[in-house]
Amino acid sequence: MNYGEIKTNDIANGEGVRTSLFVSGCTHHCKNCFNAKTWDFNFGEEFTKETEEEIFESVEPEWINGITLLGGEPFEIQNQRVLVGFLKRFREKFKNKTVWCYSGYTFEELCGLKESRAFCEVTKEMLSMIDVLVDGEFVQELYDISLKFRGSSNQRIIDVKKSLEKNSVVLFLE
């Protein structure tokens, strides 16, 4: 897996101060995507153990709330297969930090409730390690600058743990 950028001290992509990992590779190709260069799976640099350690080090201060995965598309199958191991290690090391994830896929697609090209053997496991999911493709016609943590009004901010428990979407309340 490649990544396009790591942003430390990020306050735009989730609650609090976070480290954001922008993975490479996306097949959605949303009109007016803010990060179209990351559609290419070969864009950026290879995600290595050193990259992982860099992220872990950036999250260590108590005032850092957690990490955010976005891109590109974290739930492209080849990205999931790398990120699931990374998230396991993150969860072991940082029990009190949160994980936010932005995906063009819907919660229902990621749970296997709707057919999806993103669903594979690690999708449910990866989803279970995420606290908040901002789901749905960016839709230019629904763009609204006043929305917090999302670009278009079709996107939802989901409390993943509660949603998995109830087997239906529970929105995250900021």
**Domain residue spans in the chain?**
2-166
User: How far is 135 from 106, CA to CA, in rounded Å?
Assistant: 5
Predicted local confidence at residue 108, as pLDDT: 95
Q: Quick one: DSSP state of residue 56?
A: H
User: How far is 32 from 83, CA to CA, in rounded Å?
Assistant: 26
**Splitting the chain (174 residues) into consecutive groups of 10 residues, what average pLDDT does each group show?**
97 96 90 81 97 98 98 96 98 97 96 87 97 96 94 96 94 82
Predicted local confidence at residue 174, as pLDDT: 61
Sequence-distant (≥ 6) Cβ neighbours of residue 62 within 8 angstroms: none
> What share of residues in the chain are helix, strand, coil (percent, to 5)?
30, 25, 45
Tokens standing for residue 165: 């428990």
Dihedral over Cα of 132, 124, 45, 103: its sign: negative
User: How far is 76 from 94, CA to CA, in rounded Å?
Assistant: 25
User: How far is 41 from 29, CA to CA, in rounded Å?
Assistant: 12
Task: Give the residue among 102, 159, 173, 174 at the shortest CA–CA distance from 128.
Answer: 159
CATH (residue range 2-166): 3.20.20.70
Residue carrying structure tokens 């999931």: 80
User: How far is 24 from 26, CA to CA, in rounded Å?
Assistant: 7
Radius of gyration of the chain (CA): 15
Tokens standing for residue 154: 């079709």
